[in-house]
Structures are given as structure tokens and as C-alpha cells.
Amino acid sequence: MTGKRFERWVGDHKDRVYNLAYYSLAHREEAEDVTQEVLLRMWKYRDDINEDTLGAWLARVTRNACIDVVRRRKAYSSRIVVNGDAEQFVNARSREPAPDEMAMAWEFGSKVERALATVQEPYRSVVILREIQDMKYEQIGETLELPLNTVKSYLHRGRRMLRERLNDPGGK
């Protein structure tokens, strides 16, 4: 593959990867790191990837990278709890967006955004792909390798979870 073709792939898909990462993590720097990691994996496996299914491949890799980030967060939080610093634990869990994002975001939109990042996988990815990235059920099924009925049921469950998080932000 040539550098030019790779640049075209990056241009075509970078925003979608970044959006999925950002709305999965509700954290700008982590979303940037994930996007960079995913695009470099695309470069690494460029000769093995089928361009027709590149979008689905990227969504899968992005989702897995986000899951890894969340796992690392949990591991980090647990270590702090073991050390007995409850305040740090709370701070580690409730990652607030950067002040400039906060100022720009509409309050309710910001709440939805943060609540969405607390919805469990795979429900969260289905909600993001459907409601934010406007993908069709069939595309989501191909991307996440799920049957159509499962996509629909995960979407409904994910939205219910989101409502529960917003109605009761403290409960998980």
C-alpha cells in the first residue's frame, strides 16, 4: 500500500474513530490516544485489511481499545482504593471534561454525554453507532458481529440504561 492511499484512509475514517472513542470514554485526551493507536494499527495491518470492510474493522478495533482504557481505569481506581484514599478514588471515577469543553457544552448535553460513557459494553457501542453515528442496524450487526435482533435488543437496553443513569446518577 502506498502512503497516499493510507492518507486517504486516515482522512476518510479519522473523525468516525475519534467520535466513537470520545463518546465511549467522555475524555478528550484518552479519545485522542485511542484514535492514534487505532490509526497506527490500521497502518500496521494495511495489507491485510479489506477496504470494503475497513469501517467495520476500525469500529471493532476502536471499541476494543476503549474497553482496554476503561479496564485500565478500573484497575487504577482499585489500586487507589486499596491504598485507602477514598477521595482520590472518587476523583478518578468522576472524570470531568476539560474546562473549555464544559463551557462550550450545553448542560444537559454534557450530562447525557457523561452518562453515556457509564453505560456498559456492548450496549454503549450500539447506542453510539446507532444514535450518534447514525448507522443502520445491519451495519452495526456487521461491525460488532451481532445478529440483527440482538442489535435491536442491545440498543433498547442501552437507551434504558442511559435513562437510568441520568435519573439516578449515583446508582450504577
Partner 1 sequence: MTDISHDCGWLRKHIEAFLDDELSNDAKERFENHAATCRTCRAEVEQAQRILTQLRQLPALECPDDVVERVRETALPDDGPNRIREWFARAWAPSLRPALATITVAAIVLTSIWVGRVNRTTIDPEEVAEAQAALKWTLAYVGEVSERSGKAVRDEAIRNGLIRPVQRALESIHQGSDVEPETNGG
57 binds partner 1 (CB under 8 A): no
# chain residues binding partner 1, by CB under 8 A: 34
17 binds partner 1 (CB under 8 A): yes
The counts of H helices and E strands in the chain are 9, 0
40 binds partner 1 (CB under 8 A): yes
Express the helix, strand and coil content of the chain in percent, nearest 5 each: 80, 0, 20
Q: What is the largest CA-CA distance in the chain?
A: 53
Of 59-67, 73-81, 138-146, 159-167, the segment contacting partner 1 by CB under 8 A is 159-167
How far is the C-alpha of 81 from the C-alpha of 66, rounded, in Å? Answer: 23
- What cell does 105 get? 457544552
CB nearer to partner 1: give 75 or 103: 103
116 binds partner 1 (CB under 8 A): yes
Please give the full DSSP string across 32-49, using - where no structure is assigned. HHHHHHHHHHHHHTTTT-
| Minimal distance, residue 115 CB to partner 1, in Å | 9
Please give the full DSSP string across 2-71, using - where no structure is assigned. -HHHHHHHHHHHHHHHHHHHHHHH--HHHHHHHHHHHHHHHHHTTTT--GGGHHHHHHHHHHHHHHHHHH
* Residue of 58, 66, 117, 127 that binds partner 1 (CB under 8 A): 127
Of 39-47, 51-59, 61-69, 141-149, the segment contacting partner 1 by CB under 8 A is 39-47
How far is the C-alpha of 34 from the C-alpha of 30, rounded, in Å? Answer: 6
113 binds partner 1 (CB under 8 A): yes
Would you give the DSSP letter of residue 85?
-
* Residue of 132, 139, 142, 150 that binds partner 1 (CB under 8 A): 132
CB nearer to partner 1: give 144 or 155: 155
In the complex, the residues that contact partner 1 under the rule CB under 8 A are 2-3, 6-7, 10, 14-15, 17-19, 22-23, 32, 35-36, 39-40, 43, 108-109, 112-113, 116, 127, 131-132, 155-156, 159-160, 162-163, 166-167
